[in-house]
């Protein structure tokens, strides 16, 4: 005969086994979720690493170009012996002064972006994606301003060299700005057209 106590013991053992199985399943699910999250973080970090490498190349190129432009200034240097020997010929030109300021800004911002890239290495090893993303955005901002300053330095340097022919100097500055404005306007119009098409389809 099977007693009631035996039935109760068997029920308890069955429940305990089911609870253990449930705990194991939950543990496996939690471990799988954690592994998936780690895999996603690793993929995100790898993508960020590629972006950081491209940013480093861009910042290094800008720093190299602006560094070279700082020692081969437009118009050249005074070669005659005297107190002004070695000085820039266009030092009193307003456009040349703008070139020096913008070129220095571009050099400083691109170099700061390189230093910021070096400080990002610690965040990459610990998989701190939020901190890494903030530093990447800061680097992109620095590179954007450095590029704008480099373009401004090129335009002002062109005006300084062409100070005798003002019409050509103005044309050299206006044409690139007009092309950029035209491209931006075209992109805005295209985005507006796509937005209207999506609205009418809905």
pLDDT in tens, 150-185: 999 999 988 888 888 878 888 888 888 888 888 878
Report the alpha-carbon distance of residue 166 to residue 171 in Å, rounded.
8
Q: Name the more confident of 30 and 189.
A: 189
What average pLDDT does this structure show over 182-191? 76
Backbone φ and ψ of 77, nearest 5°: -120, 160
The tokens for 147 are 């590029």
Q: Is residue 5 part of a domain?
A: no
| Share of residues in the chain with pLDDT > 70 (%) | 67
Residues 103-123 have pLDDT tens digits of 999 999 999 998 888 776 655
In the chain, the number of structural domains is 1
Q: Is residue 107 part of a domain?
A: yes
Q: Name the more confident of 15 and 128.
A: 128
Q: Name the more confident of 181 and 40.
A: 181
The tokens for 193 are 């057209």
Q: Is residue 178 part of a domain?
A: no
Report the alpha-carbon distance of residue 109 to residue 126 in Å, rounded.
27
Task: Tell if the pTM clears 0.85, that is, is over it.
Answer: no
DSSP string, 159-178: HHHTSS-HHHHHHHHHHHHH
Report the alpha-carbon distance of residue 170 to residue 172 in Å, rounded.
5
Q: Is residue 98 part of a domain?
A: yes
CB 88 within 8 A of CB 77: yes
Q: How far is CA 56 from CA 49, 76, 118, 140, 158, in A?
A: 10, 31, 9, 10, 28
Give the bridge partners for 77, in sequence order: 88
Domain that holds residue 80: 51-164
Q: Is residue 13 part of a domain?
A: no
Residue 146 has pLDDT above 80, yes or no: yes
| Per-residue pLDDT at 107 | 94
Q: Is residue 96 part of a domain?
A: yes
Q: Is residue 169 part of a domain?
A: no
Q: Is residue 160 part of a domain?
A: yes
What average pLDDT does this structure show over 73-78? 79
């Amino acid at each position: 005969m099977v007693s009631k106590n035996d039935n109760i013991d068997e029920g308890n053992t069955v429940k305990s086994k089911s609870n253990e199985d449930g705990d194991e399943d939950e543990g496996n699910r939690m471990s799988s979720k954690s592994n998936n999250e780690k895999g996603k973080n690793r993929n995100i970090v790898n993508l960020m690493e590629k972006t950081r490498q491209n940013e480093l190349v861009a910042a290094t190129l800008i720093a190299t170009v602006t560094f070279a432009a700082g020692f081969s200034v437009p118009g050249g240097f005074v070669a005659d012996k005297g107190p002004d020997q070695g000085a820039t010929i266009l030092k009193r030109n307003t456009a040349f002064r703008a070139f020096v300021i913008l070129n220095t800004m571009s050099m400083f911002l691109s170099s700061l972006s390189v230093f910021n890239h070096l400080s990002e290495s610690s965040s990459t090893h610990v998989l701190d994606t939020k901190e890494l993303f903030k530093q990447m955005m800061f680097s992109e901002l620095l590179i954007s301003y450095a590029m704008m300053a480099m373009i401004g330095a090129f335009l002002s340097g062109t005006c300084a060299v062409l100070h005798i022919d003002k019409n050509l100097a103005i044309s050299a500055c206006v044409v690139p700005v007009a092309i950029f404005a035209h491209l931006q306007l075209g992109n805005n119009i295209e985005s507006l057209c796509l937005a209207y098409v999506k609205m009418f389809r809905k």
